[in-house]
């Protein structure tokens, strides 16, 4: 027939569409190796364009170090940032996203060892192997780039061209060991070298958490020496920059890892994307929020934002972030559900092709944005550079902020200085808690409203303690600092512990069955670890809760926490965790390796109350200042003297510390009473189920003893041994009969058995 005879005429069509097929196959099974390098090329193009736009790479009028430093330092910084993000992303994928073994297996939990010897030589999943190789290679690049940034930064600051002379080398050593910027970059180099060394030698999932922590520690010195750290809001600038670096590293590093492992994911593509998507949501929120805060610190008016080259680059970064957010939304709402839902082979192939095209596009946009960020760090923001005529006050020298107005009751609530680190923690913890509640509700499970209210009350109190009047006046008054300290130890942790976040996470999160470790699996690992058994033991928790006060205030740690921002943040972390763990061991409901009986808990609480009283009285009676070089030199024209204020702090330590502790003791007593009531009901139900078998056996034992005594000693004429009536001896004295209560009707009426 004519249609059949005309079929051969269509044979040339495959030739005309062959180029299109090749283009489609480029991303059919992932992003191929040659395309990976375009991400780095995009980053280089971004930094070069930003430097040309702002003129930051131009010849310096005073102490020009040469074109090699002017162009080499931004390029080395770009490579450093991309390599660091890749290391962090690869380790995150290895620890919480990808399965380690090629054969899916459910990880052991509880007291069983997760990485047992039986699986030590199991074949690794190709994606896990590639991720670890990527982490090792990126770690080596990060180390070399960090060294280059260290050397070129000195060249840029000193205005000297890079040289191998002895004078240059000696000055470089002085810069690394004595100056803050050099010390910061030396710390980054050390973190890079240590991380790379551990990545080469480790394959245990638990052990890989250590190099991840070390790599993320390198964010701290970078935030301290960042461009905005010298602004008027020093604390806000440092914290927002730290959050920005952390979020960007998780996001960019994750995209780089996805591109590199795209060809070997295979059947786990959908679940890998779904897990990374959950992390990317928090990373996107962190990038956007911290970016807005950091930009607001550098640019103080709308005119500079739109009409300065610096502000225009910020707008370009913002637009790129929005585009990336839209692509992420497409992944989560459209592509991932189609991959996980199971489609026809043709449709699934098109979806995978579109997926990797979008991921590759994300890599290019992120590369350009990273380059723009480096260009911004090398450019001067359009802030006022007017010389300060008045000399710095003692308060500004000590705290980096002007002295606040005289403290009144209203100013406890009206004076604020936002600590964005803890604001971000509160937002993330609240969002995670709400997500768990939504999952439980969709599943039909219930969760206590009081626990929810307690959790969010604790988060709000933590934000106020770290950003409100206690934080502002805690920098200049010992008494206000003591309010902040006691609130961190006993008030915020009390509400947070009663929120039971660990129990919620264990109920809401789905166990993984492929051998990887999610948040739920890591919680179980930590709960049953030896470290957790040590720090959550009631004796250790109580000793840490009470002893930390003495160690902190009567050692140089107190002065370090007051003088340095990192020390202050570490103080907040330590005492919040100390109070949380202690309260958890007393009245918490989250799982712990060991808890004391209620009587021992009350004794521990009484001991800590006595210790708090002793500490408070010792401060009230002290005649010398603690950290006198700090509080004694504040130059306050208002308020009590430093010594009187310290004595007031002693009274606060006594009162504020005792009242919540007394409330905890009442909670222990209440839980004790409820536990006894539950135990009594349980025993009663068990007795009804077994027809009072235990009570009858107990009575029979006494009857046998009485019969034996009567047989061996006929002269014995005393009364028989008492039998139990409802588990208690009869009230009447003299001769008694063996009695026991048993139900004789379903209605619960009881008769006596004689």
- What's the pLDDT score for residue 198? 95
- What's the pLDDT score for residue 185? 93
- What's the pLDDT score for residue 8? 38
Report the phi/psi class of residue 98: left, alpha or beta, with left for phi > 0 and alpha for psi in -120 to 50.
beta
Q: Compute and round to an integer the Cα radius of gyration of the chain.
A: 34
Residue with tokens 């991720």: 131
- What's the pLDDT score for residue 677? 63
- What's the pLDDT score for residue 82? 93
Residue with tokens 């913890």: 429
Query: Helix axis angle, 234-261 relative to 420-443, nearest 10°?
Result: 50
- What's the pLDDT score for residue 349? 78
272, 97 contact by CB (below 8 A)? yes
279, 435 contact by CB (below 8 A)? no
Q: Which residues of the chain have pLDDT under 70?
A: 1-28, 61-62, 104-121, 227-231, 341-346, 383-391, 657, 675-695, 698, 712-754
Residue 728: helix, strand or coil by DSSP?
strand
Residue 499 sits at φ, ψ, to 5 deg, of -75, -15
- What's the pLDDT score for residue 139? 95
Tokens describing residue 554: 């009567």
Counting other chains too, the contacts that 380-388 makes at CB distance below 8 Å and 24 or more residues apart are: 380/56, 380/310, 381/227, 381/228, 381/298, 381/299, 381/310, 382/299, 382/304, 382/308, 382/310, 382/311, 383/231, 383/298, 383/299, 383/300, 384/300
Residue 115: helix, strand or coil by DSSP?
coil
b/e code 582-610 from CB counts within 10 Å (16+ = b): bbbbbbbebbbeebbebeebbebbeebbe
pTM of the model: 0.82
Residue 516: helix, strand or coil by DSSP?
coil
Q: What is the rounded CA–CA span in Å between residue 149 and residue 155?
A: 10
Tokens describing residue 168: 């240059």
CA atoms within 13 A on the CB side of 430: 16
- What's the pLDDT score for residue 741? 38
């Amino acid at each position: 027939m004519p249609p059949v005879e005309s079929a051969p005429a269509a044979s040339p069509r495959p030739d005309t569409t062959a180029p299109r097929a090749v283009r489609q196959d480029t991303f059919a099974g992932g992003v191929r190796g040659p395309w990976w390098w375009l991400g780095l090329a995009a980053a280089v193009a971004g930094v070069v364009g930003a430097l040309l736009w702002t003129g930051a790479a131009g010849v310096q009028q005073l102490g020009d170090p040469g074109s090699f430093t002017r162009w080499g330092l931004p390029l080395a910084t770009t490579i450093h940032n991309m390599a660091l993000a890749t290391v962090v992303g690869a380790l995150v994928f290895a620890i919480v996203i990808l399965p380690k073994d090629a054969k899916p297996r459910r990880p052991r939990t509880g007291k069983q060892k997760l990485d047992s010897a039986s699986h030590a030589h199991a074949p690794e999943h190709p994606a896990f192997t590639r991720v670890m190789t990527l982490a090792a290679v990126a770690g080596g690049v990060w180390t070399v780039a960090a060294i280059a940034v260290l050397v070129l930064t000195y060249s840029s600051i000193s205005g000297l061209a890079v040289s191998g002379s002895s004078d240059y080398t000696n000055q470089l050593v002085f810069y690394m060991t004595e100056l803050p910027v050099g010390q910061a970059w030396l710390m980054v180099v050390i973190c890079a070298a240590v991380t790379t060394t551990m990545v080469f030698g480790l394959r245990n999932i638990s052990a890989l958490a250590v190099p991840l922590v070390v790599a993320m520690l390198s964010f701290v010195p970078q935030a301290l020496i960042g461009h905005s750290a010298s602004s008027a809001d020093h604390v806000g600038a440092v914290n927002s920059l730290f959050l920005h670096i952390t979020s960007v590293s998780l996001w960019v590093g994750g995209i780089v890892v996805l591109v590199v492992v795209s060809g070997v994911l295979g059947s786990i593509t959908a679940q890998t994307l779904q897990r990374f998507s959950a992390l990317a949501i928090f990373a996107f929120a962190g990038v956007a929020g911290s970016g807005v805060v950091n930009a607001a610190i550098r640019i103080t008016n709308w005119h500079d934002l739109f009409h300065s080259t610096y502000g225009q680059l910020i707008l370009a970064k913002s637009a790129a972030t929005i585009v990336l957010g839209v692509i992420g939304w497409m992944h989560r709402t459209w592509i991932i559900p189609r991959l996980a839902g199971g489609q026809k082979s043709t449709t699934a192939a098109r979806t995978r092709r579109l997926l990797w095209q979008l991921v590759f596009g994300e890599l290019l946009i992120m590369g350009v944005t990273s380059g723009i960020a480096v260009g911004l760090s090398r450019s001067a923001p359009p802030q006022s550079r007017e010389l300060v005529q008045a000399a710095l006050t003692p308060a500004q020298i000590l705290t980096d902020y002007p002295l606040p107005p005289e403290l009144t009751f209203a100013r406890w609530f009206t004076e604020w200085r936002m600590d964005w680190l803890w604001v971000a923690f509160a937002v993330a913890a609240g969002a995670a808690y709400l997500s768990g509640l939504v999952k439980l509700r969709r599943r039909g499970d219930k969760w206590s409203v009081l626990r929810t209210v307690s959790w969010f009350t604790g988060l709000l109190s933590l934000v106020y303690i770290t950003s409100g009047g206690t934080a502002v006046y805690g920098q200049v008054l010992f008494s206000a600092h003591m309010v902040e300290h006691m609130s961190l130890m006993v008030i915020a942790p009390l509400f947070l512990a009663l929120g039971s976040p660990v129990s919620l996470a264990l109920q809401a999160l789905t166990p993984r069955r492929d051998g990887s470790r999610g948040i739920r699996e890591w919680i179980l690992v930590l709960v049953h670890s030896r470290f957790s058994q040590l720090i959550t033991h009631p004796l250790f928790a109580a000793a840490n809760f009470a002893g930390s006060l003495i160690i902190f205030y009567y050692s140089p740690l107190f002065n370090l926490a007051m003088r340095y921002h990192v020390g202050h943040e570490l103080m907040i972390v330590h005492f919040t965790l100390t109070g949380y763990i202690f309260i958890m061991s007393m009245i918490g409901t989250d799982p712990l390796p060991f808890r004391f009986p209620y009587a021992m808990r009350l004794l521990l609480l009484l001991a800590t109350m006595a210790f708090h009283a002793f500490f408070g009285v010792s401060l009230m009676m002290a005649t010398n200042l603690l950290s006198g070089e700090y509080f004694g030199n504040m130059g306050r024209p208002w308020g009590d003297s430093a010594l009187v204020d310290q004595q007031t702090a002693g009274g606060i330590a006594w009162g504020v510390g005792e009242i919540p502790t007394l409330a905890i003791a009442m909670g222990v007593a209440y839980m004790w009473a409820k536990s006894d009531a539950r135990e009594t009901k349980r025993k009663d139900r068990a007795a009804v189920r077994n027809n009072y078998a235990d009570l009858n056996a107990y009575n029979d034992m006494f009857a046998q003893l009485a019969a034996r005594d009567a047989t061996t000693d006929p002269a014995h004429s005393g009364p028989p041994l008492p039998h139990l009536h409802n588990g208690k001896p009869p009230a009447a004295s003299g001769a008694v009969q063996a009695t026991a209560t048993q139900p004789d009707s379903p209605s619960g009426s009881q008769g006596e058995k004689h």
